[in-house]
Amino acid sequence: MNNKMLNIITLCILLFMLAGCVSFDEGQVSEKTDEIAEKIIQENPNQDELEVSDRNAEPDAVRSILNLSGRNFDGFGLNDAFGDEMSILNLISPGLTRYDPDSMRFLPVLAESWEISDDLLTWTFTLRDDIAWVVVDTTNQEVRQVTDSDGEVIFLSANDIKNQLLYTLAPGSGSDFSYLLFNIVGAQEYASGTGGEEGVQIEVPSEDRLVIHLKEPDAGLLDLTELNLFSAFPTWLDQGDSTGRSYFYGPFIPASALTIDNDELILVKNSYWPGTEGLAMPSMDMINITIQNSLDVLETFRVGALDAVLLTDTEYEIALADPELADSIVSVPGRVGLYMLFNNTDLEPLNDVNVRRSIAGSLDRSSLMDSLEKGEWIVQEGFIPDYLRKEPFDGASYSSNANSSTADFNMAGIDLISYGLSTKISNAIYFQLSEKSKLNFFPHFVSNSGTDESSLYTELNQNYSDSPGIYMLHFSLNENSQQEMWDSLYDPMTFVEIQNGNWNNSEFTDLFNQAKQATNPEDRIDLYARMEEILVNEDVMIIPIFWAQEHWLVSQDLNAEILPLYQQYENWSHIAP
């Protein structure tokens, strides 16, 4: 059988398999709606108390559909989602704000406005009063407002947001991100079981006002309010009640079960969404997300059954070599960076900043890229990725003195510790340092495979507690904010040189404290820029290596801005032919 015939047969089989997820024309929309009618959210068991009202929609309106892949979904925990899942939850259960990549500010969504006390310890959010709780009708797929027993529409309230915050903090909630709320008075005690819910200082003086009291001043609290930590959970339900997953309020509403156990997830437009400054009324009427892990996304995209898909590294290489697909590739920064951090800089030879400079200068990051998967990483000049700064970071050039400062230490030994990195990357860095530097390096590669986090840190600490060393770590972002990365430097399990007092730069510390109290985002970015200059160029305590890249296939007829961290699907639209 020749290749042409084989390709035709393969394509026919693929089209048959994808019959349920291809793009729809106007005549097919109603058929698709009937098809997914069997896969809607469960009826509320308290339906006798909560009723729904009809939607004012035009039945003959032309609908547009966005077809995506959800094969990377791990689950939809409303208190611990990130990545692809977070992009979906931001549509169905958005938080108080939404990040605007153009202005690098957080814009109002559930919150209409906010005020901060002079001491930055009390934050008062004033909420919109026109965001209704909605459900999807089980008989006709229409979005309907939830009403009380008197027929009055139930609007989202400050108590609903407090309910979600307490749900996240509740002992045993399983949230991976509850620690982000520990600066709230009483939050850490409640989460650890040493304090009660009543000790968490989140107040609701009225239906539209939420007041949060902090232990320490922190202008970065606003950076968290985009996350689902600050979404809403219905107050008429107990925390953890599974029927809470039937009620939503965002610009899109699930019309199939919110789970990764099915082959697809259907989101339909919520016509009751009022549209806010940070989260506009969406352009699309439906989002159809195919969740099959085994789906051949390249061929599915090629035949037009996917509008956009995030690629694996292998798929990226295949697409890059395919002229038909290569023009549709869009590359953006990912959420992970790779760095080398100096340790025990009070010991020779690392107590000499010129030695640290020479080690930094002996790394040729561009040539290191040649040993890695194509397109997997890009060279990182600064501590912070460029998309979170005003201007690209100007990294210092150390190559001119790469050998001069190490001449007296050719017998010294420096531990080179790799924590959780691939052996390929670790070896490439080790061999380059050993070849270009006159120092002796002793590699310790710590794998995170099958080991719990506390055991990993114990092993890591044993390796670098007593000797001069360099350890290689990932930094990852969950927020559209620099503050998360700067805070991580003060984590005792990350940058230990600050914790053990081996590195102390008073200007850096003062700048960090100023940034925590700078409510103007532009001012904070300027403070961060000076901190970065000290950390990377002057004191050379951290060597940035790479920042991960993500690669998407995006249809030529789709108007979509692919963002580095979370996608804003409400702004995507099809280009008119």
* pLDDT tens digits for range 103-137: 999 999 999 999 999 999 999 999 999 999 999 88
Number of structural domains the chain divides into: 2
Query: Do 199 and 340 share a domain, yes or no?
Result: no
Helix (H) or strand (E) holding 213: strand 209-213
How many Å apart are CA 320 and CA 43, to the nearest integer?
46
Query: Do 373 and 455 share a domain, yes or no?
Result: yes
Q: What is the pLDDT of residue 15?
A: 32
Tell me how crowded residue 468 is: count the other CB atoms within 10 A of its CB: 22
Query: Do 563 and 527 share a domain, yes or no?
Result: no
Name the pairing type of β-strands 105-108 and 97-100. Answer: antiparallel
Low-confidence winner among 376-380, 396-400, 422-426 (lowest mean pLDDT)? 396-400
The CATH number covering residue 387 comes to: 3.10.105.10
Indicate the average pLDDT of the chain: 81
How many Å apart are CA 56 and CA 271, to the nearest integer?
8
Which pLDDT tens digit goes with each residue over 184-234?
Answer: 999 999 999 999 999 999 999 999 999 999 999 999 999 999 998 999 999
Query: Do 485 and 570 share a domain, yes or no?
Result: no
Q: What is the 3-state secondary structure (H, E, C) of 423-447?
A: HHHHHHHHHHHHHHCCCEEEEEEEC
Q: What is the pLDDT of residue 74?
A: 64
- Residue 469 belongs to a domain: yes
Query: Do 536 and 560 share a domain, yes or no?
Result: no
Q: What is the 3-state secondary structure (H, E, C) of 494-543?
A: CCHHHHCCCCCCHHHHHHHHHHHCCCCHHHHHHHHHHHHHHHHHHCCCEE
Tokens 């940035």: give the residue. 544
- Residue 285 belongs to a domain: yes
- Residue 322 belongs to a domain: no
Closest among 355, 515, 512, 498 to 438, alpha carbons compared: 355
Query: Do 242 and 364 share a domain, yes or no?
Result: no
**Which ranges of 100-200 would DSSP assign to H, the alpha helix?**
158-169, 187-192
Burial of 239 (0-12, 13-18, 19+ CB in 10 A): middle
pLDDT at 14 over 70: no
Which pLDDT tens digit goes with each residue over 518-567?
Answer: 999 889 999 999 999 999 999 999 999 999 999 999 999 999 999 998 99
How many Å apart are CA 463 and CA 195, to the nearest integer?
36
DSSP annotation of 216: S
Query: Do 563 and 518 share a domain, yes or no?
Result: no
Tokens 């800089």: give the residue. 345
Determine the structural domain holding residue 559 and report its residue range.
3-307+555-574
- Residue 325 belongs to a domain: no
How many Cα atoms sit within 13 Å of 382 on the Cβ side? 21
Whats the size of the chain, residue-wise? 577
Query: Do 390 and 412 share a domain, yes or no?
Result: yes
How many Å apart are CA 134 and CA 291, to the nearest integer?
25
Query: Do 60 and 204 share a domain, yes or no?
Result: yes
- Residue 451 belongs to a domain: yes
- Residue 399 belongs to a domain: yes
DSSP string computed for 275-312: --SSSPPPS-SEEEEE--TT--HHHHHHTTS-SEEEPP
- Residue 317 belongs to a domain: no
Distance, CA of 402 to chain centre: 37
Query: Do 284 and 384 share a domain, yes or no?
Result: no
Q: Residue 526 is which amino acid?
A: D
pLDDT at 78 over 60: no
Burial of 443 (0-12, 13-18, 19+ CB in 10 A): middle
DSSP annotation of 492: T
Query: Rounded to the nearest 5°, which phi and psi values hold at 80?
Result: -150, 20
Q: What is the pLDDT of residue 493?
A: 67
Q: How confident is the model at residue 56 (pLDDT cuts 50, 70, 90)?
A: very low
Contacts of 561 (CB under 8 A, 6+ apart): 101, 568, 571
How many Å apart are CA 443 and CA 423, to the nearest integer?
11
- Kindly state the average pLDDT of the residues 465-473: 82
Contacts of 189 (CB under 8 A, 6+ apart): 195, 199
Query: Do 536 and 563 share a domain, yes or no?
Result: no
Query: Do 538 and 562 share a domain, yes or no?
Result: no
Asked whether 224 and 165 are in contact (CB, 8 A), the reply is no
pLDDT at 332 over 60: yes
- Kindly state the average pLDDT of the residues 401-429: 67
- Residue 321 belongs to a domain: no
Which pLDDT tens digit goes with each residue over 338-366?
Answer: 999 998 899 888 999 999 998 998 888 88
How many Å apart are CA 10 and CA 115, to the nearest integer?
60
The CATH number covering residue 265 comes to: 3.40.190.10
pLDDT at 37 over 50: no
Strand order across the 51-53 sheet: 51-53, 143-147, 134-136
Asked whether 345 and 355 are in contact (CB, 8 A), the reply is no
